[in-house]
Amino acid sequence: MREWEELALDLAAWACERMRSGYSTATTKKHAADWVTSTDREIEQEVRARIGAAFPSHRVVGEEYGAAGTGPVTWYVDPVDGTTNFVHGLGWSSFSLAAADESGAVVGVVADPWRGEIFSAVRGRGARLSGQAIRCAAAEALAGGIVCTELCGGQVWPGLSTLMRTLAERQCGTRIMGSTALSLASVAAGRCTAMVTGGYQIWDVLAAALIARESGAVVLSRAGDPWLGGELPADGLVAGGPEVVREVWQAWR
């Protein structure tokens, strides 16, 4: 695990420098709001090359180049989570990388290049922000708090409008920031009360979900079942402090 963590942290630091370098070309994929940049591709290529050199028996799954390799350990990489923000110069995008074995997530990093911060976690060893231990917020009520959420594939997912209205009635703000990984990692740092997403790709979420769980946050599926670090629920999740997560889940339901 130590070698995996060291490689993940090194790649996160490198990805931050690349994202801040300012040079990038942008094109679209499936539709006009589905962006990809040369930075996305370059970062994922570097991640694949360095993992392959260090751990040739490991598998890599990424947003831009799909799955490659076989083996008991799989790395999931989102080179730029929040590419639309990145393209438009909005400072809320991130790099996400997780390693998982047959029991689930083992190592996770989420890097925020604009604040120079790297969130990280190793299974069973707690969560850290730039090397310092962090805990989720100890809020006992939603009033006055913030719940982050995200669109799903650029679309308003079923139940999102109701969730936002219910939270507003309980005097809790909602924010759609544009990077699922960074919003979920913010729960771990205590910067928001909870985070809800109605859908995602595994490379967007796995690292941040591990970080949130290791910070003391509770991660629930749409059915309300706790995520224990294994396979992620397929139909969305909610993460938050133990005292409020069920209330957020009920608002979502």
Q: Taking all residues of the chain, what is their mean pLDDT, rounded to a whole number?
A: 94
Task: Give dist(CA 149, CA 129) in Å, integer.
Answer: 21
Sheet arrangement for strand 173-176: 173-176, 146-149, 194-197, 237-240, 218-221
pTM confidence score: 0.95
Q: Which of 240, 61, 249 is nearest to 145 (CA)?
A: 240
Q: Is the pLDDT of residue 235 over 80?
A: yes
* 194 Cβ neighbours under 8 A, 6+ residues apart: 145, 147, 148, 187, 238, 239, 240, 241, 244, 245, 248
Give the pLDDT score at 13.
98
Domains parsed from the chain with CATH numbers: 2-134 (3.30.540.10), 146-252 (3.40.190.80)
Confidence of residue 71 (pLDDT cuts 50, 70, 90): confident
Give the pLDDT score at 137.
93
Segment 14-23, tens digit of pLDDT: 999 999 997 7
> Mean of the pLDDT values across residues 71-98?
95
Q: Is the pLDDT of residue 33 over 80?
A: no
